[in-house]
Amino acid sequence: MIARLAWHETKSFFRTPMAAVFTVAMPLLMTVIIGAAVGNDAVRPGSDVRVMQFVIPVMAVFGVAQGCFGALGIHLADLRDRGWLERLRGTPVPAWAVLGGLAGASLVIATVTVAALLAVGVVFYDTQMVWRTLPALLITLLIGAACFTALGFAAVALVRNAAAVQLLGTGLLLALAFISDVILVGARLPAWLDAVGWVFPLRHLAHAVRDAMNPFLTGAGLFADHLAVLAVWGIGGAALAVWRFRWERAPARTVAAPASRRRRPRPQGRPSALPLLAGQVAHALARLRRDLSTAFFTVLLPVLLLALISLIFADARAAGVRLPVFMLAAMITYTVGVASYVNIAESISGDRERGVLKRLAGTPLPRWAYHAGHLTTALLVTIATAVVLALVAALGYGVRIEPGMIPLMLTAIVAGTACFTVLAALVVAFASRQQTVNAITLGTFLPLAFVSDVFVIGGELPTALRTIGDVFPLKHVSHTVLAVLDPAGRPWPGTDVAVVTAWTLAGLAALAVVNARRRAG
């Protein structure tokens, strides 16, 4: 029973583009980009051990943690929210078999991710398999997978809905990756932040796997201290899951509306354009407040990355400016892309899949008000986040924001928001399912962020990757914002603005062609 359920869940996983992209494809893509940026030279003169020998293991650890903790928790919470777990609980299949099948599927997915990364490392990066430590490596990966699987069940047991699980599973995991020698390998963290990293299990698994694949070390490759921490976290997570796990969704909390709101009379007649737009903006902002994971990735994550990376590499410089200045421009650009490309595409495709757009077509609400509400919301969220980012950079890292920069900054944000909103509408027009739309937006935006001066990797990118970044608009938005923030002063980046404008006009033309063909058909 467990084997059949695990096989069913595994097939379901690989038929979900978004899950497969984040869990399997993303570690592979990050490996390729990091390898291109840092190179793969020998770590010592005369040695055949190369740099990627120490990158491949930590990427494999990230894949294991994402598959067994993040993806498992999100999928399990989604099944509970939709009532599938409750229906399965009412069948003759034992509860332990259902949970065992889910855990088995996460183990299979982790195995596929690790195997793919090791194969890429051996074939393309001359990664050496240390055969004497292979049994220890397998044991370590198995204990790590069991630990994060137990923590995935515990996360679902603790929180109420799938959105909160996604925030905990993906947001927390990504934050820990920065302080656990996974994304920033070998970075010198402040003492307190380094201590926090050692508390959680991700760093212990990363060190245990990396050391097991280190050909310079001797011994069997088993590290009892790291494995003990993983075991403690795994046992604690399993105990918490057994104690608090619920098969049905927790009842929603209802709050009675204030009497003044209930008695407020509705205006008569057809509303003007401004109230229509204001209503759509209020609706979109309410959706954002209720979606914790979207709010985290749009607003909180860029602030966290700015503060964390600027703290770790306080004296570094990038693109000719201090790193906090560069990170401020990069995180504003990141917010522009997420708010106006990823979020808008997800919202519109979700409304279409749930039949909301069809129902709106039968109401007096004009279509322009619906889309203008999304665009205005993305612009407001981006500006608010940019203000917070500027305050953190100014108060925490001494970045100077001159009053004359503000109008130019608003111009860059508006141009970038308009461009990526049009591209989001174009993706929705060509992709029919919400999961496909999410896979396309995330699968294009995140890789481009690594080659478009948004996510700092270190090292010079090869010509091919730099060319890819030059073609697409994300790098040009980033360069425009950086030109505004550069304290030394830079000429207005007319070429970058022209590229962003060209993408906007081309997207509008493509949308017009698509809509004309649909009306004709």
Taking residues 365-379, report their average pLDDT: 86
- Residue 11: per-residue pLDDT: 82
- Residue 253: per-residue pLDDT: 54
Determine whether 130 is exposed, middle or buried from the number of CB atoms within 10 Å of its CB (0-12, 13-18, 19+): middle
- Residue 10: per-residue pLDDT: 83
For the stretch 110-122, pLDDT in tens is 888 899 999 988 8
For the stretch 429-459, pLDDT in tens is 988 787 788 878 887 888 888 888 888 666 6
For the stretch 321-338, pLDDT in tens is 888 999 999 999 999 999
Distances (CA, A) of 519 to 61, 392, 512, 513, 515: 50, 49, 11, 10, 6
Length of the chain: 521
C-alpha to C-alpha distance for 81 and 75, rounded to whole angstroms: 10
Q: Band of the pLDDT at 309, cuts 50, 70, 90?
A: confident
**What phi and psi, each to the nearest 5 degrees, are found at residue 132?**
-70, -25
Taking residues 71-100, report their average pLDDT: 82
CA neighbor of 310 nearest in space, from 319, 323, 328: 323
Of the spans 287-291, 301-305, 375-379, which averages the highest pLDDT? 375-379
The yes-or-no verdict on residue 19 having pLDDT over 70 is no
- Residue 235: per-residue pLDDT: 95
C-alpha to C-alpha distance for 229 and 199, rounded to whole angstroms: 9
C-alpha to C-alpha distance for 349 and 114, rounded to whole angstroms: 33
- Residue 202: per-residue pLDDT: 94
Q: Would the pTM of this model clear 0.85, i.e. be above it?
A: no
For the stretch 280-292, pLDDT in tens is 888 888 877 777 6
Distances (CA, A) of 277 to 271, 290, 466: 10, 20, 40
